[in-house]
Amino acid sequence: MKRNLLIISIVGGVAVLLGVGVAEMRRMGSGHGYEPDQPINFSHKVHAGENKISCRYCHFAAERGRHAGIPPTELCLNCHSLVKAGSPEIQKIRDALSSGKPIEWVKVHEFPDFAYFNHAQHVTAGVQCQQCHGPVERMTRMRQQEPLTMGWCLDCHRQNKIAPPNHVKTAAGGDCTKCHY
Amino acid sequence: MGRDEKHEMTDNPERNYWQDIDNPKSPPGSASDEFPQEHASEFFDSSLVNKSRRDFLGILGFAFGAVPLVSSCHRMPVKKALAYLNKEERVTPGIANWYATTCGGCSASCGLLVKTREGRPIKIEGNPENPFSRGGVCAVGQAMVLGLYDSYRYLKPQVGISDVSLEEVDREVIKRLTEIRSSRGRVALVTGEIRSPTTLKVIGEFISRAKADHFIYEPVSLFPIARAHLQTHGQAALPRYHLDQADLVVSFSADFLGTWYSPIEFSKQYASRRAPDPETSMLRHIQVEGSMSLTASNADVRISVTPSREAWLLGVLARHVAEMAGANAGASLLKATFGKELAAEELDKTAQDIARELWAAKGRALVLSGSQDPGQQILVNAINHWLGAYGKTIQLSASRAALSDPDRFELLLSDLGREKYQAVILWGTNPVYSHPGFPRLVEGLKKAATVIHLAEAPNETSTFTSTSTMTKIVCPTHHFLESWNDHDLGEGWLGITQPVIQPLRQTRMAQESLMKWMGMSISYPDYLEANWKKNFFHVQKKHASPQSFWTTSLHDGIAKVSGEPLSLSGFRADSLRGVSAPELGKAMELRIYQKVSLRDGRFANNPWLQELPDPITKVTWDNYAQLSPKASKSLGVKTGDLVRITKGSIPLVLPALIQPGQNDNLVSIAMGYGHLISGKTGKNVGQNAFIFIDARGVLDSTSVTVVKEGGRQELSTTQMHHRMEGRDIVRETTFARFKNNPSAGNPVQEKNPTMWSEHPKDQHSWAMTIDLSRCNGCSACLVSCQAENNVPVVGKDEVFRQREMHWIRIDRYYEGDESNPRVVHQPMTCHHCENAPCETVCPVLATVHSSDGINQQVYNRCVGTRYCANNCPYKVRRFNWFDYPHEDNWKKAIYSDDNDWRNMALNPDVVVRSRGVMEKCSLCIHRIQDAKLRAKKEGRPLADGEIRLACQQSCPTDAIIFGDLNDPASRVSLSLKDPRHYRVLHEINVEPRLRYLTKVRNQT
């Protein structure tokens, strides 16, 4: 009996470890839920939510190319040369511009080198920013809302939620080299 | 269909192709050394291999248990994202910008489009707008982008041994030049050849202001051609040749497809007349050459003679053509020179045959010579004149080029000895490495008080010319990708060089340095623009305002400014008096030649070029003495045995290489090797053959001795890996047969019965066809692919272990008699088989079929079993034995220092593969994806020809066709209906998507 218990507990323990291990491995490095401090207390909630500034005003490269891009620092001053110009946070922007030393934002959405993702493609097809980035307009501090794992990408692509244009049969499809090259 | 049956059906069943001279008839199965075990063993001597099963399970269990422990406390590494402070309007991260510029690789000045990402140039492609290079770029041009990031380049200016700033160097130089001027001294300016009108204007101003004399030195030059035209036509003109207007080209050792004059332009023209069409005629090509150059390997008829007999043959040929043309004065002059000796009789029959063919093609014939002897070029001009080639296959235009001048350089050497010059400025030339009078030059330079070097990187000239009594000043120059310039291309065309990156180092354009030193305050780009607006705007007709002329020209990289052909005074027959018959070689003769990869050696520090297999010998990282099979037999040497070549009292010891087709009395050695001063890549690789050339730059020597030295030096060749094993991998026929039957030599490949179900068809179905009649083996595709796909350089030792990484290899097969074989070049890369043998053996599904027919290699799934490479019938898979781009050992072995910048040339859209991963041609899947994404964004279907693969884009012969088989009108679909179309290894039923078109030779 005692021996059985021992075996059961060992087998059970290994099973639990394996289960946790596999679950963790799947999550490992995905950065799901990552919400780091940023050098400037920039709030997407204020900008995109309350003031309803279009995402593409700052992330204008999203409809042009691979990267959505962090807006160039000078772009902030389009508004902030007048709006809240006295804020110490805005002062950091002016300091960066005058010193020539760029602001070191902490990267939230880290996409691995071995995969290719193109923002323009998704934006043009009508995918909403929030579909991958979560309710950014309600985030005071930027958070990685979705796991951004391969399975997560494929979930969406398999359902083919977005109707591809007439001359294209499928959106991306399941080929490895659609993203990995 | 049985194998024997098929062989009966082939065009010429006796054809016996072979690759390897040591064993031409290699026994079947000898390819078993593809993965030699002795090389692999170094990886399995670690203790892991000797572990018992129990230990192994223990380690496995621990690893599994450790994962949750480690992962539960793991933290993401914090990565920073830095945005632009002020964004340059045209630079958006992730989007490439393209700039038109002109290549600085050689004097051909091909048009380039440079791809830059985030301000970094990463890929060079051809500019289709350029009327000469028409979108092609050679291997050297492709490799220039790597040279930009070479860490061996000068970092900053130097005065004496101390590093200084540009301002300090200017102060120092201006002080010295002023002193010289006030003491009525002289300055010598020594440059390489210059074909830039604006640069020549700067030099002209410098000469008059600084009281300088200009000398030009170039080891391999076109000056003999210009000199000959001065004598025959009264103008030192450089011709533009039009091979596409010719039905017959006879070339005397002019390697016009590989290294001579303007190879890309000639390849384009040549290929346009070599793709067989039953309705039209095909260009016929006769090559008179003792060595096996790239051009010789493509000739329909190759006449193998030694260099001295080649010169005689040219003379006798000229006599015959003169007689046919009724040019009695010329004929009698030539008879006096080339009529007397035994050689004339010996060569008379050959000369008559060529003359008859040339005369039959009168007006559509062209004779070329690669000789550095102006006398032979005069003969060529005479023949071309009598054949009516001028105005048809040759266009003469006024040359703005400043060409090399051996007589003036000789004057410089003696004047330096007489201390005539107080200061010498050396710009972009390295005579201490390549000029035979280098000891006098070094001594002479030491007598000048100041020597100023305008060089990109330290070289022999800038290193071996300093003493305590003299001040050496180095003012480093930009790479051409950082520079502004213009180029006279001939026929009224000008090319523009514009910078595609900010200067990486504290360097400056040499033109600007000269301008600063003569007190001009304007910058060189402003000077260039002003010169164009002032001097070239008036002679062009297209643009109404100087500004639109300049901006459009800059955008296009090229401009047509005038078009009137040169009015010539006619041929002067008395110029033939200046031609003397050369001394006939009695024993061994020597030829120094340029390799397709290294050319004259100025880019020896470029690892892409060093590792590029020679198109003929397939040797990387070395030069060698090429000997004929018969000569090597009588010397008792095999490939790799050291031989000593002696000319006069100068010896050189090199490994021998048995070269089929080599003349028995000729030894050929490539120039450009044996640099004493170079970065790690180029230093002490091979031997310097320039010690054998004479002061006039003539590359042939009549009398040398070759003896066996004893000892060996192994050559790293890619030749031995792949053999044909008696199968009809290459299919070929002659033009005569082709005209009767377009599928001559190409028996039908019946559909094999198959057990496989077909792959489901999706939207696209990509395929590629290579035309073997067009391909000339130049290897531009290979370097283009390397640049595009981040293919690493592995170094000499690894190539020796058969671990080269090139995704394309160009198989070269010999056929026929080994003393003068015919040659075939066949590019081989992944065939993207429908029934891919690699896919079925991969245990981790790292190589799988895509819906559009591509055989995908998924790097992050691959665990490196290498089963796929073993099972690949085409042997095109490459394995990463090391993390070549990152592991320090590899970088140290090949690159100059740890801080090398050459990884900056990596393409950010393609993964950099790591150790233990298999890779191979992806059909430039990122280019396909990019074009698809663009079409989708613009809401339109993909157009045929919109996707151009890296190899296809750079191919100077347009031999590669790529497209969608689902589109019945696409070029690739049509190519599958071509009667010349066939599959390689059809019998194994892998259904490759890479197909070939048979090679057609214009032979009888």
Query: CA B462 to CA B443: how far, in whole Å?
Result: 13
Report whether pLDDT(B31) > 60. no
Are the C-beta atoms of B427 and B448 separated by less than 8 Å?
no
**In the prediction, which pLDDT does B67 show?**
61
CA A128 to chain B, closest CA, distance in angstroms equals 16
B633 CB within 8 Å of a chain A CB: no
Are the C-beta atoms of B983 and B749 separated by less than 8 Å?
yes
Q: Which of B169, B227, B211 is CA-nearest to residue B377? A: B227
Chain A residues close to B836, C-beta within 8 Å = none
DSSP string for B885-929? TT-HHHHHHHSSSTT--GGGGS-TTS----TT-EE----SHHHHH
pLDDT tens digits, A19-43? 777 766 666 667 888 888 999 999 9
Banded model confidence at residue B469, pLDDT cuts 50, 70, 90 = low
**In the prediction, which pLDDT does A85 show?**
86
Query: CA A101 to CA B789: how far, in whole Å?
Result: 34
Banded model confidence at residue B925, pLDDT cuts 50, 70, 90 = very high
Task: Please name every residue paired with B683 in a beta bridge, in sequence order, or none if there are none.
Answer: B675
Phi, psi of B302 (to 5 degrees): -120, 125
B94 CB within 8 Å of a chain A CB: yes
Query: CA B819 to CA B629: how far, in whole Å?
Result: 7
**pLDDT > 70 fraction of chain B, expressed in percent and rounded:** 90
pLDDT tens digits, B775-805? 999 999 999 999 999 998 888 888 898 889 9
DSSP summary character for residue B644: E
Query: CA B839 to CA B850: how far, in whole Å?
Result: 11
What are the tokens at B972?
Answer: 């690739």
CA dihedral (B592, B598, B602, B605) in degrees, to 10, reads: -130
**In the prediction, which pLDDT does B160 show?**
85
Report whether pLDDT(B773) > 90. yes
Tell me how many residue pairs between chain A and chain B have CB atoms under 8 A apart: 149
Query: CA A32 to CA B402: how far, in whole Å?
Result: 65
Say whether A71 and B82 touch across the interface (CB within 8 A): no
H helices of B328-459, where? 328-338, 342-360, 374-386, 406-417, 431-434, 438-447
**In the prediction, which pLDDT does B894 show?**
65
Q: What is the mean pLDDT of chain A?
A: 85
DSSP string for B551-603? HHHHHHTEEE---PPPP-----GGGGGG--PPPPPSSEEEEEE-BTTTBTTTT
**Which of 913-942 (B) contact A at CB < 8 A?**
922, 925-926, 929, 933, 935-937, 939-941
Nearest CB neighbour to A61, from listed B92, B925, B941: B92
Q: Please give the average per-residue pLDDT across B580-594, as a whole number.
A: 88
Q: How many CB atoms lie within 10 A of CB A60?
A: 17
What are the tokens at B104?
Answer: 């600085």
**In the prediction, which pLDDT does B572 show?**
87
**In the prediction, which pLDDT does B34 show?**
47
3-state secondary structure of B415: helix
Are the C-beta atoms of B216 and B191 separated by less than 8 Å?
yes
Nearest CB neighbour to A124, from listed B78, B929, B937: B937
**In the prediction, which pLDDT does B547 show?**
93
Banded model confidence at residue B890, pLDDT cuts 50, 70, 90 = low
Chain A residues close to B64, C-beta within 8 Å = 17-18, 21
Return the half-sphere exposure (C-beta side, CA atoms, 13 A cut-off) of residue B267: 31
Query: CA B267 to CA B241: how far, in whole Å?
Result: 12
pLDDT tens digits, B603-623? 999 999 999 999 999 999 999
Q: What is the mean pLDDT of chain B?
A: 86
Say whether A176 and B911 touch across the interface (CB within 8 A): no
**In the prediction, which pLDDT does B512 show?**
93
Say whether A181 and B78 touch across the interface (CB within 8 A): no
3-state secondary structure of B611: coil
Is the dihedral angle over the CA atoms B884, B890, B895, B898 positive or is it negative?
A: positive
Q: Which of A58, A41, A30 is CA-nearest to residue A105? A: A41
**In the prediction, which pLDDT does B30 show?**
43
Are the C-beta atoms of B302 and B287 separated by less than 8 Å?
yes
**Which of 722-781 (B) contact A at CB < 8 A?**
762-763
Banded model confidence at residue B39, pLDDT cuts 50, 70, 90 = very low
Q: Please give the average per-residue pLDDT across B650-657, as a whole number.
A: 94
Task: Report the helix count and the strand count for chain A, using DSSP H and E.
Answer: 8, 1
Q: Please give the average per-residue pLDDT across B848-872, as a whole number.
A: 92
Buried b (16+ CB within 10 A) or exposed e, B599-638: bbbbbbbbbbbbbbbbbbbbbbbbbbbbbbbebbeeeebe
The gap between the terminal CA atoms of chain B, to the nearest Å, is: 30
**In the prediction, which pLDDT does B675 show?**
92
- Across chain B, which distance is largest between two alpha carbons, in Å? 98
3-state secondary structure of B769: strand
Helix A88-99, helix A73-80: angle, nearest 10: 130
Q: Are strands A104-106 and B212-216 parallel, antiparallel or unpaired?
A: unpaired
Q: Which residue has the tokens 């009525």?
A: B184
Report whether pLDDT(B445) > 90. no
Report how far apart, in Å, the C-alpha atoms of A38 and of each of A107, B151, B429, B772, B946 are: 9, 36, 54, 59, 43
Task: Please name every residue paired with B125 in a beta bridge, in sequence order, or none if there are none.
Answer: B113
Say whether B82 and A103 touch across the interface (CB within 8 A): yes
Those residues whose C-beta lies under 8 Å from the C-beta of residue A159, and which sit 6 or more positions away, are none
Chain A residues close to B936, C-beta within 8 Å = 121, 124-125, 164-165, 168
What are the tokens at B463?
Answer: 């290193």
Report how far apart, in Å, the C-alpha atoms of B711 and of each of B670, B689, B761 are: 21, 20, 59
Query: CA B82 to CA B207: how far, in whole Å?
Result: 49
Say whether A34 and B80 touch across the interface (CB within 8 A): no
Say whether B911 and A113 touch across the interface (CB within 8 A): yes
Banded model confidence at residue B565, pLDDT cuts 50, 70, 90 = low
Report whether pLDDT(B425) > 70. yes
pLDDT tens digits, B684-723? 899 999 999 888 888 888 889 999 998 999 999 887 644 5
pLDDT tens digits, B69-78? 555 555 567 8
Burial (Cβ within 10 Å: 0-12, 13-18, ≥19) of residue B345:
exposed
**pLDDT > 90 fraction of chain A, expressed in percent and rounded:** 39
Q: Which residue has the tokens 């049956």?
A: B5
Those residues whose C-beta lies under 8 Å from the C-beta of residue A72, and which sit 6 or more positions away, are B83, B84, B85, B86, B87
- Across chain A, which distance is largest between two alpha carbons, in Å? 79
What are the tokens at B343?
Answer: 């050689």
Q: Which of A48, A30, A36, A68 is CA-nearest to residue A146? A: A30
Which residue, among B85, B844, B860, would best test binding to A if mutated, counting the most A CBs under 10 Å from its CB? B85
Nearest CB neighbour to B71, from listed A25, A69, A113: A25
B723 or B207, higher pLDDT:
B207
Nearest CB neighbour to A70, from listed B81, B861, B925: B81
The angle formed by the CA atoms of residues B963, B969 and B973, to the nearest 5 degrees, is 50
Q: Which amino acid does the sequence have at B738? A: F
Report whether pLDDT(B269) > 80. yes
Banded model confidence at residue B22, pLDDT cuts 50, 70, 90 = low
3-state secondary structure of B875: coil
Report whether pLDDT(B813) > 70. yes
Report whether pLDDT(B340) > 90. no
pLDDT tens digits, B617-642? 999 999 999 999 999 999 999 989 99
Report whether pLDDT(A180) > 50. yes
Those residues whose C-beta lies under 8 Å from the C-beta of residue B345, and which sit 6 or more positions away, are none
**In the prediction, which pLDDT does B720 show?**
65
Say whether B858 and A102 touch across the interface (CB within 8 A): no
What are the tokens at B115?
Answer: 């791809």
Say whether B65 and A105 touch across the interface (CB within 8 A): no
Q: Which of B6, B661, B638, B553 is CA-nearest to residue B292? A: B661
3-state secondary structure of B114: strand
3-state secondary structure of B395: strand
Those residues whose C-beta lies under 8 Å from the C-beta of residue B784, and which sit 6 or more positions away, are B125, B137, B142, B950, B951, B953, B954
DSSP string for A17-33? HHHHHHHHHHHTT--TT
Which residue, among B71, B785, B861, B921, would best test binding to A if mutated, counting the most A CBs under 10 Å from its CB? B71
Q: Which residue has the tokens 């390819």?
A: B31
B826 or B900, higher pLDDT:
B826
Report whether pLDDT(B975) > 70. yes
Query: CA B563 to CA B566: how far, in whole Å?
Result: 9
Banded model confidence at residue A170, pLDDT cuts 50, 70, 90 = low
Query: CA B817 to CA B14: how far, in whole Å?
Result: 12
B910 CB within 8 Å of a chain A CB: yes
B81 CB within 8 Å of a chain A CB: yes
B62 CB within 8 Å of a chain A CB: no
Say whether B911 and A29 touch across the interface (CB within 8 A): no
Report whether pLDDT(B68) > 60. no
Q: Please give the average per-residue pLDDT across A34-57, as a whole number.
A: 92
For residue A100, what is the nearest residue in chain B, using CA coordinates? B85
Q: Which of B435, B936, B343, B967 is CA-nearest to residue B671? A: B435
Are the C-beta atoms of B949 and B962 separated by less than 8 Å?
yes
Those residues whose C-beta lies under 8 Å from the C-beta of residue B487, and which sit 6 or more positions away, are B102, B109, B195, B196, B494, B495, B496, B497
Report whether pLDDT(B9) > 80. no
**In the prediction, which pLDDT does B542 show?**
87
